Amino acid sequence: MKITRTVKKILDNYESDCPGTKANLARMLMHGKLGGTGKMVILPVDQGFEHGPARSFAPNPDAYDPHYHYQLAIDAGLNAYAAPLGMLEAGADTFAGAIPTILKLNSANSLSTNKDQAVTATVHDALRLGCAAIGFTIYPGSEDQYAMMEEIRELAEEAKSVGLAVVMWSYPRGGKLDKAGETALDVCAYAAHMAALLGAHIIKVKPPTNVLWQAEAKAAYEKAGVDTSTLAARIKHVMQATFNGRRIVVFSGGEAKDLEGLFTEIRGLRDGGANGSIIGRNTFQRPREQALDMLEKIIGIYQNKM
């Protein structure tokens, strides 16, 4: 596999990492239809844990089968597939080597009474399942945020020492935050920045809204005249907040169902300089052919063809 110049430039930003970790980042960046472009589309399937199986898979019952998602991600030419332990264990041998995988190490569920997640798998699990990376969620703002950060510190250090990459989901939640705060630009950029400071290689956040939620932050944005008017402008700011573009940032697809709305949003991500999308429910809750068609178009947007 010849690494493209674009990808090589991205890898150079990870200057403290061992060759093993860079190789795994390269595996993801060079895989699939976006391989070599520096852009990524990732399929995450942890919604069964987060919301329950029927809410996740009843709209498209084939998706109850773990093999379905492996095959979908492969056939769509995505860069990687992310899921919790059991989902990967159920297909890791059948699809060994067919697509880079990310083992999600922690998960929450909708029955929970606090804003935390259970750590449900280990770095060793990621190695034995042949994964390219570990995934981990932090909830900045939550009463448990420091404990979560300390968990990922341990897991990330171990992952880096064995040549895995670290993908961090950074979702502000709990504590003083209200709904508006969870997706506000200042909070989202802060969450992305902290993931970078915690040593993430790839950061996943939600597309931020045009809200400035913290009073002191609002004052700083206004004084500096930061443009927050368009999604592209906001994405640009998030990329800046993640070491001025030295870290890969991908954005979730949110709950948008209308395809045109989704494509518009993804154009905004692309125009703001995002590295890509990580898009679950919008993918596997549609019939397979529709999902493949949608992913083809999303990839087209990142290829600047649409």
Active site residues: 171, 204
Q: What residues numbered 45-64 form the site for a second copy, per CB under 8 A? A: 48-49, 51-55, 58-59, 61, 64
Does 19 interact with a second copy (rule: CB under 8 A)? no
Report whether 127 contacts 158 (CB < 8 A): no
Please give the size of the binding site for a second copy, defined by CB under 8 A. Answer: 87
Does 262 interact with a second copy (rule: CB under 8 A)? no
Smallest distance from the beta carbon of 33 to a second copy, in angstroms?
A: 27
Q: What residues numbered 237-256 form the site for a second copy, per CB under 8 A? A: 237, 240-241, 243-244, 246-247
SS3 of residue 200 by DSSP: coil
Q: What residues numbered 123-162 form the site for a second copy, per CB under 8 A? A: 124-125, 128-129, 140-141, 143, 145-147, 149-150, 153, 157
Q: What residues numbered 157-196 form the site for a second copy, per CB under 8 A? A: 157, 172, 175-177, 186-187, 189-190, 193-194, 196
Q: Please identify which residue in 3, 74, 90, 211 interacts with a second copy, judged by CB under 8 A.
A: 90
Does 198 interact with a second copy (rule: CB under 8 A)? yes
Q: What is the C-alpha separation between 43 and 101, in angstroms, rounded?
A: 10
- By CB under 8 A, which span of 28-36, 69-77, 219-227, 288-296 interacts with a second copy? 219-227
Q: What is the C-alpha separation between 228 and 238, in angstroms, rounded?
A: 11
- Greatest Cα-to-Cα distance within the chain, rounded to the nearest angstrom: 56
For tokens 């990330």, the residue is 156
DSSP designation for 209: B
As a residue count, the chain comes to 306
Q: Please identify which residue in 6, 75, 112, 287 interacts with a second copy, judged by CB under 8 A.
A: 112
Q: What is the C-alpha separation between 296 and 291, in angstroms, rounded?
A: 8
Q: What is the C-alpha separation between 84 and 45, in angstroms, rounded?
A: 8
Q: What stretch of H or E contains 167? A: strand 165-170
